[in-house]
Amino acid sequence: MSSKVVLQKHGTHNTYVQKHTRDDASIGVGVDNFIPWYILQYMQTTVIFKTDKKLKVSAQETAKRMGIPFSAVMNRLVKEFVERKVITFDERPSLKPTPYLARILRQQEKDLKSGKNFEVFNSVEEAFADLV
């Protein structure tokens, strides 16, 4: 048995009905399956993916507060990904140093205050000469 979806024009308002059929026998038309022509005219494709429910709701609420349709947010993110070939997985980069780096920075601050392990040079040439 093969199954297909057929769009049939409905009435005079350029509205289409999505009709599910199996072997040319209608198996149902849902109430929410009326698709206005203007939507079909501009519709390109649908992307379905899984995500955490709380994240989805939070993103939708944020978009709503900003007055932006959620689909516009998703389209912009996909377009930016394609154009820039870059994706950021962190909302804000973490600026907290690792414990190792924090220890080194604390030691450097102590050395700077005590004048230890630091030299002052009057020119770049002097600094390079000190390296060799």
pLDDT tens for each residue of 2-28: 555 555 555 555 555 555 555 544 444
Instruction: For residue 38, name the pLDDT band (cuts at 50, 70, 90).
Output: low
Query: Would you place residue 120 in the very low, low, confident or very high pLDDT band (cuts 50, 70, 90)?
Result: confident
pLDDT digits (tens, 9 = 90+) for 60-82: 999 999 998 998 899 999 998 89
| CA angle 23–26–27, rounded 5-degree value | 100
Q: How far is CA 1 from CA 4, 7, 23, 30, 128, in A?
A: 10, 20, 6, 21, 81
Q: What angle do CA 103, 107, 113 make, to 5 degrees?
A: 150
pLDDT value for 36? 62
DSSP of the chain, one letter per residue?
--EEEEEEEETTTTEEEEEEEETTEEEE--GGGEEEHHHHHH----------HHHHHHHHHHHHHHT--HHHHHHHHHHHHHHH------SS---PPPHHHHHHHHHHHHHHHHTTT----SSHHHHHHHH-
Query: Between β-strands 3-10 and 34-36, what pairing exists: parallel, antiparallel or unpaired?
Result: unpaired
So what's the pLDDT on residue 25? 46
- Residue 16 carries which side chain, given as an amino acid letter? Y
Higher-confidence position of 2 and 101:
101
pTM of the model: 0.37
Give yes or no for a contact between 17 and 10, defined as CB atoms under 8 angstroms apart: yes
Q: Is pLDDT of 100 > 90?
A: yes
